[in-house]
Amino acid sequence: MESLRTRKHKDHLIEQCSDAKKKTEKFKKSNGGLTKKEQHVPNTKDKLFRISFEIDLLSVGLFFCGLITRMYKLEEPKNIVFDELHYGKYVSLYMKNTFFFDSHPPLGKQLIAGAAYLAGFDGRFKFDKIGSPYPDTVPLLALRFVPAFFGSLIIPTSYHLMLELGLAQWTSLLAAILLLFDNALLTQSRFILMESMLLFFALFGIFCLLKFRNYYSKPYSIFWFFWLCLASVSLTCALSVKYVGFYSCCLGLAIIGRDFWKLLSSIAISDRAIFARFLIQTVITASVSVLVYLCIFYFHLKVLYKAGPHDSIMTSAFQASLEGGLASITRGQPLLVAHGSQITLRHTHGRTCWLHSHNHVYPIRYPDKRGSSHQQHVTCYSFKDVNNWWIVKRPNKNDLVVEQPIDVIHHGDVIQLVHGITSRALNSHDVAAPVSPQCQEVSCYIDYNVSMPAQNLWRVEILNKDQNGEAWHTIQSMIRLIHVDTNTALKFTGRQLPDWGFHQHEVAADRIINQDDTVWNVEEHRYTKSEDQKERERELVTAEMIPTAATSLSFWEKFFELHYKMMFSGTESVQNHMYSSEPLEWPLMSRGIAYWVSSTSNAQIHLIGNLILWYSGTFGLFVYSSMLIFYLLRRRRLCYDLDAKSWEQFLLIGETFLTGYLFHYLPYFFVERTLFLHHYLLAFTFKTLLLAALIEHIYSILNDVLKFKIIAYMFVMLVSLWVLVTFYVFQKFTVLCYGTTPLSTNDVVSLRWKDTWDFIIHKN
């Protein structure tokens, strides 16, 4: 038995190469020789060490059509178009090795940056606003080449994807042509934007998975491993271009899961074998994906080692690990916080600001008639300022000079914090805070002799003492300050004080200790030195404590911090963008996005899909769903309209494309961010593929099941006519994709087929 299996295995390996070819031959037969194909290498079945390969000219042809449409006049317009503003900026920062923060993962930008690097882009161009012209120093062709290339690849990929699902070659060709003729895909592929890469990786990943399915009967063969790994890599790449790629991964998992579930029912495989297979499949998928993802981020963090414009989003430790920026300020500052340390305290997570106080007092009464302590403000201030300095002091010592041996503060020690400029101590008491009355007010204590004693003792709690030890470290230690008398924690409340507090952020003490907003860390630090101390001693003190190297964080620390910030930022996106749209508007394409307009004429680029295609796609969704329900109801009453094989096929296209559509569309209803039409492109692609598959199904129903040959013939004619109309609409709207043709006002108005489309018309 065993030997038989291995022999089969070998046979199979040999067959691998000619496998695809056989398939095409089959199609050749079924399509009566209509397909054009060329085989470069003759049959080499019984010869060893030969590689036979074949080229599907259709697929190559489609690729070239894609290249031609996508690359035509790629360098025009020579201006910044829409989001090139952001992505171009990120690419230029890559060139300069400068750290930036973006809530999307980096792969897409890396690919473009790679091309830019090869073309010798020095990154010295300020992507300031949409429409500003590119100078000759920017290798625009190289920058736009990558998205356009991937955009062209989408077309043959979808062709093969359809073939792999067992659909006829004509159908696959139809699907590819439909995608080729969509204006939105064309526009989106021509500029420095992420969607074409995302789309390619997602489709290619699904294609690999379908290939993988062919080897279910021969697990652990080379090709079984190969396609599984390739699928994981490709889908992870999709995820690393934009996180919406996650839904493509889910689709992939759903397909594998569904197949596996079916596999469970086969008695031929033993329990143990099936479990082993499940385990191996999971381990391979997970490890490959994680590895790819980590590599991408490793590269990202490795390349970006200089401080840059988005530093302040990250924690002090992260900033200090970058070259320049905070690192240059904090270099050489003492490491351990001790009695007598002068420090600035930064609010670690969320908004960047420093604990601050100044010579103003809380108003006696607030507008809502609550009283205050009338003591000095304590706030959180977002700018560097001399008033951000505080001195750490032990309650029982008065001399602030740091002496040898240094009196280091440890976890659990009780300290006072004295404001550097006003010399008043940080204090809290049972008075409601100005803006968040459920918290306690924090002030700098002024003694008014009104039987309100100072409560200025704070206990230092170091959160990450497991990593850095019990001593309080500059930058690295994340601390909470617990007010000793009331057991509350010093907290940034996130609200702004009114006018009297100069709109700075409120700081209060909250009973709920365990939250992110109560975490602080020391950013700048120096020891207090009295002038008349002995020179030598002071030098000793400082020299000993200077860190020999700049703060360095391990890759993992940086990786996790970056992800933490990526998860919790992104709420700051623009509200009410002029061209934003709602998910409900997408299927009927209520509005596009103006990408660019020439300053001299009405030549413009506008993201808008092919109207015919989008509407028929939406219509196709309804037709497919209603047919599905119809079949299901009929089958429930034991009326089998389709034979088992075509029923399987019908289900398969739904399980792949309809699920794909829903996976990439429905989640947007729960997204809070501003959304645009281009978020729909993934779902749109699946919708179009479903449409093509549905056309084949209807044709086969008419032709094979109902045997209305004439109607089937008419249906084909109708479809051809529809494709022609689609092409007509496509070429009519290409002016808005390329943006090279100056349009008159009338031209623009005549393209405005729907009242809700907002094209731009210059007024003269």
Contact 517, 506 (CB under 8 A): no
Nearer to another protein, 556 or 670 (CB): 670
Q: What is the dihedral of CA 118, 78, 144, 668, to 10 degrees?
A: 140
According to CB under 8 A, which residues from 725 to 744 bind another protein? none
Selected binder of another protein within 63, 297, 492, 661 (CB under 8 A): 492
Nearest Cα residue to 188 out of 742, 676, 675, 603: 676
- Return the range that interacts with another protein (CB under 8 A); candidates 72-80, 88-96, 168-176, 512-520: 512-520
SS3 441: strand
Kindly write down the DSSP assignment for every residue of 320-358, as one continuous string. HTSBSTHHHHHTT--SB-BTTEEEEEEE-SSS--EEEEE
The least CB distance from residue 694 to another protein, in Å, is 25
For residue 405, whether the previous peptide bond is cis, meaning omega lies within 30 degrees of 0, is yes
Pairing of strands 376-381, 354-361: antiparallel
Distance of CA 418 to the CA centre of its chain: 44
271: contact with another protein by CB under 8 A: yes
Nearer to another protein, 49 or 261 (CB): 261
3-state SS track over 521-571: EEEEEEECCCCCCCHHHHHHHHHHHCCCCCCCCCHHHHHHHHHHHHHHCCC
The least CB distance from residue 710 to another protein, in Å, is 32
267: contact with another protein by CB under 8 A: yes
Nearer to another protein, 83 or 517 (CB): 517
499: contact with another protein by CB under 8 A: yes
569: contact with another protein by CB under 8 A: no
Burial grade of 629 (CB within 10 A; 0-12, 13-18, 19 or more): exposed
Selected binder of another protein within 141, 283, 567, 633 (CB under 8 A): 633
758: contact with another protein by CB under 8 A: yes
493: contact with another protein by CB under 8 A: yes
513: contact with another protein by CB under 8 A: yes
Nearer to another protein, 633 or 718 (CB): 633
Selected binder of another protein within 495, 563, 709, 754 (CB under 8 A): 495
- Return the range that interacts with another protein (CB under 8 A); candidates 163-171, 237-245, 257-265, 337-345: 257-265
Nearer to another protein, 645 or 763 (CB): 763
As a whole number of angstroms, the distance between CA 427 and CA 447 comes to: 11
Contact 702, 712 (CB under 8 A): yes
According to CB under 8 A, which residues from 273 to 332 bind another protein? none
Record the tokens describing residue 54, joined without a space: 């074949």
Q: What is the amino acid identity at position 622?
A: F
625: contact with another protein by CB under 8 A: no
515: contact with another protein by CB under 8 A: yes
As a whole number of angstroms, the distance between CA 483 and CA 507 comes to: 13
Selected binder of another protein within 182, 517, 524, 696 (CB under 8 A): 517
The least CB distance from residue 590 to another protein, in Å, is 10
- Return the range that interacts with another protein (CB under 8 A); candidates 14-22, 368-376, 454-462, 508-516: 508-516
Nearest Cα residue to 161 out of 171, 147, 150: 171
38: contact with another protein by CB under 8 A: no
261: contact with another protein by CB under 8 A: yes
According to CB under 8 A, which residues from 574 to 593 bind another protein? 578
Selected binder of another protein within 294, 512, 567, 721 (CB under 8 A): 512
368: contact with another protein by CB under 8 A: no
Vertex 422: Cα angle to 418 and 424 (nearest 5): 40
436: contact with another protein by CB under 8 A: yes
272: contact with another protein by CB under 8 A: no
According to CB under 8 A, which residues from 665 to 724 bind another protein? 670, 672
- Return the range that interacts with another protein (CB under 8 A); candidates 85-93, 120-128, 245-253, 632-640: 632-640
626: contact with another protein by CB under 8 A: no
Burial grade of 208 (CB within 10 A; 0-12, 13-18, 19 or more): buried
List the beta bridge partners of residue 491. 508
As a whole number of angstroms, the distance between CA 706 and CA 290 comes to: 50
The least CB distance from residue 330 to another protein, in Å, is 27
Nearer to another protein, 404 or 756 (CB): 756
Nearer to another protein, 347 or 473 (CB): 347
Q: Quick one: residue 120, left, alpha or beta (phi over 0 = left, psi -120 to 50 = alpha)?
A: left
Pairing of strands 479-483, 604-607: unpaired
The least CB distance from residue 362 to another protein, in Å, is 19
Contact 208, 231 (CB under 8 A): yes
Binding site for another protein (CB under 8 A): 261, 264-265, 267, 271, 350-351, 436, 438, 487, 492-495, 499, 512-515, 517, 578, 633, 636-638, 670, 672, 756, 758, 763
